[in-house]
Structure 1
């Protein structure tokens, strides 16, 4: 065989090796670069997400680029997904059983996903790093189109490496990162606390108490900020004796209310920072022979089902977890902008007016 032919064969063999090596290293970022679009757009196209406002030309360009590069999903080892694949949403939650908010958020996401032909898969991690890693790997093996990371308590989180390495969009529900590196949605707690307190001010109250949750939690801190803002806006001096820390429980609400009633000048209204606290508040007020709202106005927060069955029915605020779940799915239905920093979306906590608030009793 001629020498130049041997060289040609050797070169061809090297080229095949190089192509094989490239195929094993190809990521969705490479496909995006090849197609001239964002990584999110590539994910939406390859996973056939419904409702995406992308042209047929863009879709074809993404598929052509993915096929040309021999794209293989890096974590699952699966080949390029079929264009008819059903989009799957992986929902990672730290706790499911401690409060109803997680179930409400998941139900909101499920309802929105079902109407868009999507599947929602849910897993609880109990804040265990090993479990979290296994859950993410299992979701990747299932071919998820995006991942939702949710916490029960609103807080800043540090995403683990296995989530940061994903080649699918990651959304944060009820949490956020310090650098705001991912789209995140949380309740607008400061505005909610301000609206609740202003409702009492609008009814003529000027001596307004509040029973907080555990103050290390962001929800308690923000609702207290809203309370103070409403007082300042109404030119009502802040009185620290009217702020009692609780722990979100009915028993804490009961004890805090007794403490407030023992003040030399008791309040005429109490803003309980969750509905369970309000249950204990009701019991203490009734035990003291006080009528709600004639002798004391009470307002809650969360709009749990019990608030509709208390006597009188409790005025409270809605935590928008169902709306947050729906918001997540809506973001998946739109092309995510290419950015390094995203503003945190805050959903309003609407006030539900019922029967527990009235004007202060004239002495």
Structure 2
């Protein structure tokens, strides 16, 4: 999905809709043909599947419980991946949003788990965080998506945020940048902490000191990306590249640089994170790190199925926490610095 989206310039959701021949989807025939051609060029082979009818004798329903699905663009792509994996194995996905309300969550669990058709549960959160899963989940096969618990007892899948921060910063370093600004999200969130850790690790690996004056805290919005970029560029030795912890802040950074009269990427490079739809339509198009939302959803369901297969076969079920990497998408917002610094020759005369 990610490879096809990169080739065609459309979102992973659109790729999913095309490959699954979804009815009622609002995209052009040209977009459909472009996605199908890219899939074929990559060696992907479309298979014809008849709709799988749930059997009364089989547990065919996977319950997907999320705290939020409408406050961020990411959860719906998680659901796309989970749905496709469920369908591919003859299961149906039922999605519930609790708005983070414990009473609603309990009502959903009481109603959903009462069904004899329930195979298992995907328990998801909109932001990566530590959770204390409801007690009822200990009675049913469950996989945690975008969250984790220190007590064990559940497999979980989360984004590899430290690796993502490292990949982004390393990319800028390889492009020749040595003064790299970083605009983070809300510092108390796991994603912000880990992306910053990846940034610092990449600098250390390149034997570059961490410069606190090159880091600003934001709130994931384009407004703080704008304001914090203005702040970074007021430094006596401003950055030649700015890594933003999400695409919206990168959008604000690009606008701030334009207001200051700087060209992107000729004067200052900008790199984002997430690969939201907007990243394809900025001027210039934004280079960014993919947050692997589709793969997270798919992995959660496939792990749920594998754990149950092992349990039915009498094999031990080993709960684990998996961190999924996302690739870096190169577009046009990062410049490679190729100028060589001329050696300084001191001539001493008598």
The reply to whether TM is greater than 0.5 is: yes
Distance (Å, rounded) in 1 between the aligned partners of 2:107 and 2:246: 35
Instruction: Say whether the 8 Å CA contact 1:183–1:342 is kept in structure 2.
Output: yes
**1:79-228 aligned within 5 A:** 84-85=57-58, 87-143=60-116, 144-164=118-138, 166=139, 168-228=140-200
Question: Which residue of the partner structure matches residue 258 of structure 1?
Answer: 230
Question: Which residue of the partner structure matches residue 51 of structure 1?
Answer: none
Distance (Å, rounded) in 1 between the aligned partners of 2:316 and 2:222: 44
Instruction: Say whether the 8 Å CA contact 1:179–1:341 is kept in structure 2.
Output: no
Alpha-carbon offset, residue 284 of structure 1: 0.2
Distance (Å, rounded) in 1 between the aligned partners of 2:181 and 2:316: 43
Instruction: Say whether the 8 Å CA contact 1:180–1:344 is kept in structure 2.
Output: no
Distance (Å, rounded) in 1 between the aligned partners of 2:152 and 2:59: 29
Question: Which residue of the partner structure matches residue 245 of structure 2?
Answer: 273
Alpha-carbon offset, residue 332 of structure 1: 2.8
Distance (Å, rounded) in 1 between the aligned partners of 2:142 and 2:322: 15
Question: Which residue of the partner structure matches residue 35 of structure 1?
Answer: none
Question: Which residue of the partner structure matches residue 333 of structure 2?
Answer: 356
Distance (Å, rounded) in 2 between the aligned partners of 1:179 and 1:127: 21
**1:27-46 aligned within 5 A:** none
In angstroms, what is the RMSD of aligned CA positions?
1.8
Pair 1:82–1:121, CA change in 2 (3 A): closer
Instruction: Say whether the 8 Å CA contact 2:142–2:304 is kept in structure 1.
Output: no
Instruction: Say whether the 8 Å CA contact 1:197–1:271 is kept in structure 2.
Output: yes
Pair 1:336–1:101, CA change in 2 (3 A): farther
Question: Which residue of the partner structure matches residue 320 of structure 2?
Answer: 343
Alpha-carbon offset, residue 341 of structure 1: 6.5
Instruction: Say whether the 8 Å CA contact 2:122–2:301 is kept in structure 1.
Output: no
Secondary structure at the aligned position of 2:273 is classed as: coil
Q: Which moved more, 1:94-103 or 1:135-144?
A: 135-144
Distance (Å, rounded) in 2 between the aligned partners of 1:333 and 1:342: 13
Deviations 1:87-130 (A, max 9, x none): 10000000111101111001111111112211100111111111
What's the TM-score once normalised by structure 2's chain length?
0.77
Secondary structure at the aligned position of 1:235 is classed as: coil
**Residue 326 (str. 1) matches residue 303 (str. 2):** no
Distance (Å, rounded) in 2 between the aligned partners of 1:311 and 1:228: 28
Question: How many pairs does the alignment contain?
Answer: 281
Question: Which residue of the partner structure matches residue 245 of structure 1?
Answer: 217
